[in-house]
C-alpha cells in the first residue's frame, strides 16, 4: 500500500530484512576498531539485527595500516568470543567474520602474499579514502581478481569523486557494489541519498549492508523499511545478500 507524504517522498508498507537473510557489513567485534567498544554492546547490536529480521551477520572490522592494525588472528579470536557469548545467552543468530580492507600501498603489497578474510564465494570487502581513489585502483582490483577474489566495494555512494560513469566502469570490470542502508534515508547527506537511488535505478547494486557501528545506527534501520528505494532494490535482479 502506497502512502503519500509529499510529492517527492513515497512511503510503502514496511518490508523487513528477513527477505535478505544476511547482513554483510558491520563492526561488531568489541574494541578493535571504531565499532562496538565491548561485548555488552555487541550483543545488544546483534539482538537489534535479529529484531530487524536478519538470520545471519557477517561482521567486517576495519583493517587499516595507519589506524586499525587488525590481523586475521585478532578478528577470528573476536569472532570466537562473540559466538561463545551468543551461546551462553541462547541467542540464535549465525555470525561470521571477514574484514573491511582499506586500499592503500600497504594493502597492495600484501596481495598474493597474505590470505585475506573473505565471505561467501570468496568475496573481499574493500573501502577507499573519502578524499580520492588510488591512481592505480584498477590495477589493484585486477591483482585481487587474479588471486581469485571477487571484489566488493563498500559504500560506493559515499565517494563524492565517483560519477555514474565511474560506477559503470567498476561494474564492467567485475566489481560488486555494496551500498549502506542509511544512505537510503539521507543519513550521510541528501547528495549521497540521491546517488544511492541512482545506483539502485541503474541496477548496479549487488549487496546492501548495515555498516553498523553503534546503537544510534541500529535504531535507524527500521526507517529504511518503508522507503521505495529499498523496495525497488529488493525487486532487482542483482541483490546477492540472500545467497550467503
Tens digits of pLDDT across the chain (244 residues): 544 444 456 789 999 899 999 999 999 999 999 999 999 999 999 999 999 999 999 999 999 998 999 999 999 999 999 999 999 999 999 999 999 999 999 999 999 999 999 999 999 999 999 999 999 999 999 999 999 999 999 999 999 999 999 999 999 999 999 999 999 999 999 999 999 999 999 999 999 999 999 999 999 999 999 999 999 999 988 899 999 9
Closest C-alpha among 177, 175, 194, 178 to residue 186? 194
pLDDT tens digit string along 160-219?
999 999 999 999 999 999 999 999 999 999 999 999 999 999 999 999 999 999 999 999
Domain limits for position 178: 18-243
Cell of 211: 555498516
What's the CA gap between 194 and 192, in Å, rounded? Answer: 5
The answer to whether residue 11 is domain-embedded is no
The residues, ordered by sequence, that sit 6+ positions from 33 with a Cβ below 8 Å of its Cβ are 27, 61, 62, 68, 70
CB 134 within 8 A of CB 104: yes
Number of domains in the chain: 1
The answer to whether residue 4 is domain-embedded is no
The answer to whether residue 89 is domain-embedded is yes
The answer to whether residue 7 is domain-embedded is no
Q: What is the reported pTM?
A: 0.94
Q: What is the CATH number of the domain that holds 67?
A: 3.20.20.140
**H or E element, residue 84:** helix 72-88
Let me know how long the chain is. Answer: 244
Under DSSP, the state recorded for 212 is: B
The answer to whether residue 190 is domain-embedded is yes
- Bridge partners of 178? 154, 207
- Bridge partners of 227? 11
Amino acid at each position: 500500500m502506497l502512502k503519500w507524504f509529499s510529492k517527492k517522498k513515497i512511503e510503502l508498507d514496511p518490508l523487513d530484512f528477513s527477505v535478505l537473510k544476511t547482513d554483510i557489513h558491520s563492526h561488531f567485534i568489541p574494541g578493535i576498531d571504531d565499532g562496538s567498544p565491548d561485548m555488552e554492546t555487541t550483543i545488544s547490536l546483534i539482538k537489534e539485527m535479529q529484531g530487524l529480521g536478519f538470520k545471519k551477520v557477517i561482521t567486517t572490522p576495519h583493517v587499516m595500516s595507519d589506524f586499525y592494525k587488525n590481523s586475521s588472528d585478532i578478528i577470528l579470536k573476536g569472532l570466537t568470543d562473540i559466538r561463545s557469548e551468543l551461546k551462553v545467552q541462547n541467542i540464535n543468530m549465525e555470525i561470521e567474520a571477514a574484514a573491511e580492507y582499506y586500499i592503500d600501498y600497504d594493502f597492495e603489497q600484501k596481495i598474493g602474499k597474505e590470505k585475506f578474510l573473505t565471505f561467501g564465494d570468496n568475496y573481499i570487502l574493500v573501502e577507499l579514502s573519502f578524499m580520492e581513489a588510488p591512481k592505480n585502483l584498477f590495477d589493484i582490483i585486477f591483482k585481487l581478481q587474479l588471486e581469485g577474489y571477487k571484489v566488493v566495494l563498500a559504500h560506493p555512494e559515499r565517494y563524492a569523486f565517483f560519477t555514474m560513469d565511474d560506477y559503470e566502469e567498476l561494474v564492467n570490470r567485475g566489481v560488486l557494489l555494496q551500498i549502506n542502508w542509511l544512505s537510503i534515508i539521507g543519513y550521510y547527506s541528501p547528495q549521497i541519498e540521491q546517488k544511492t537511488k541512482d545506483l539502485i535505478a541503474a541496477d548496479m547494486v549487488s549487496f546492501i549492508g548495515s555498516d553498523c557501528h553503534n546503537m544510534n545506527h541500529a535504531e535507524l534501520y527500521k526507517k529504511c523499511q518503508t522507503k521505495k528505494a529499498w523496495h525497488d532494490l529488493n525487486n532487482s535482479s542483482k541483490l546477492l545478500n540472500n545467497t550467503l
